[in-house]
Each structure stands twice: as C-alpha cells, then as structure tokens.
Amino acid sequence: MVDAFLPRYAARLNAVLPPLSLSGTLVTIRKFSERFRHWDQLLDRETLSPETATFLDTAVQAKTNILFSGGTGSGKTTVLNVAACSIRDPLERIITVEETQELSAFLVLPDCDGLQVRFPNAEGKGGVNQQSLTRNALRMFPTRIIIGEVRGPEAWDLINAMNSGHPGGMCTIHADSPKKALVKLVNLALQGASNMSHDYIAELVSETVELVVQIARFSDGKRQIMAIAEAVGCQDSIVVSQDLWLRERPGSPLKWTGVRPERMLDKFAAAGLGYQLPLAGSVL
C-alpha cells in the first residue's frame, strides 16, 4: 500500500496491491484542479463573494486562528491554500505541515517552508507522523503554523502553538458544520493531551480558535462556503459559536446574519486594519 504525490500532474496517487486488495492491483489517482492562490479565483468559481473575501482576507492579515471545515472533496484545502497564499507581511515566518502535499504557500511566500509526513516502511519503521512535524515546526522559529488537515493528536500541539505566541494558525478538519468541527477539534486535542480534562480542552479551544469557515460540495460540482461562524465562548464543556454569514441552502445567497463579530472587530482594530461591516440584510 502506498500514498504518494505526483508533482508533474498535481495529483495524489494511492495504490493497494494483493494480498491487501482482494480484486487485484488498485490504483486511485485524485487530480487536483488548478492550484488556486488568489481570492479572485474563488470569486470566479462563486465559492464566496467580494464581501466575504474581504472579511476573510482581513482576518488572515490580522492573524486570526481559522478552522476550515468540510467533507471530502468539498474544497476546504483549496480555500485554506488561498488564505495562506494571501499573507502579505514579508517578515512572517510560516511553516506548513501536511500528510500529503497539497498546499503551495511555501512556493509563493518569501519565508515559508513546507513539511510532509513520512509513512512507515513495510516493516513499520522510519515513519514520521504529523504530530512530530508539528512539534518540530515550533523549533523552526515560526510566526504561524498551518496544518493541511488535523486528524489526530497534532491538534493539541497546534492549539498550544496558536495560544502561545504563534497566532494566525490555520488548518482544515473533516466535519459537516462549524459546531461539529469545534466538537471534533476538542476530541482530537484530547488524544494529544490525555492528562488534561475535557473541560479544560474545550475552554482552551474556545479561547484559541476564532473563526470556522464551512465549505460544501454540491451535486453539480460547485464548491461554496456555506457558513462563517465565530467562536464566542464555552458552556457546559461545549464550544459555543455564532453564525456571522449563512447560506440557507445550496445555491442560495450567502447572507450576513446581522450578528456583529465583536471578537473579530476588536482584533481587526488592534491590528490597525480598517474594516466596514456590510449593511444589515445585504446579500454576500
């Protein structure tokens, strides 16, 4: 069994051979569409609107901790890649950590390096997991750490990094809604900090993660942002969030809910970034 990346074709390859496969050699090639690096490219695909692009871009420049959530093939890594490539401060030192290379920020940003997991060999030796790479990234003097997808105990290391001098961290997570994404992040972090209580981890996540961007893929192949939520606190060991923008159903417009993102507005102001909320009821 092997999982690899084909740089020439911008594709991921997975192969399974007998005896693990019961029906002969199985090869799956997942070819990525164009490596989107600019908000305009997502606007052209109707993934988001100019107003939401402005909000997310301002959040990135303000070093907001953002969680991109969605199902398999929903486009969450594409949106994460655009957000990472939009970082404009040339003095920022950024480290990306991935299981399989999909992000291209390290190719375009002036001070960005990428780390990739190494899987164990046939004897189960020589592997370097995502948690080890995340911990090593902290030794590389980063200003931000970006993880392609959190799926294990590295969630604890990422949360610790974002909460202790490395703001602006971003990652993707496999979940169907912002609320489920936050619940899953807490559970994954518990894997890396089994000596900590659930209450403590939930409180830490609520203080650390600031935005959740929910993305979905529809039957016609379109990928769109369905919701943007702000984490506002913790209640009964559950991270509480409020929807700032919401798309009621596939194909409907993404609308501002009218809720003022006080946490975000304070962060934008502290970073010296001007931002004007849209008019109430405006379509985004």
Confidence at residue 280, expressed as pLDDT on a 0 to 100 scale: 54
Does the structure show a pLDDT above 60 at 116?
yes
Confidence at residue 202, expressed as pLDDT on a 0 to 100 scale: 96
pLDDT tens per residue across span 191-230: 999 899 999 999 999 999 999 999 999 888 889 999 999 9
Placement of tokens 């990428």 in the chain: 114
Q: ∠ CA 137-186-174 to the nearest 5 degrees?
A: 80
Does the structure show a pLDDT above 90 at 122?
no
Q: Which ranges of 138-261 does DSSP label H, i.e. alpha helix?
A: 154-162, 178-192, 198-208
Residues 273/58, Cβ–Cβ less than 8 Å: yes
pTM of the full predicted structure? Answer: 0.89
Question: Could you tell me the fold of the domain covering 34-270?
Answer: Rossmann fold (3.40.50)
Q: ∠ CA 138-140-141 to the nearest 5 degrees?
A: 80
Confidence at residue 71, expressed as pLDDT on a 0 to 100 scale: 94
Domain ranges of the chain: 1-31, 34-270
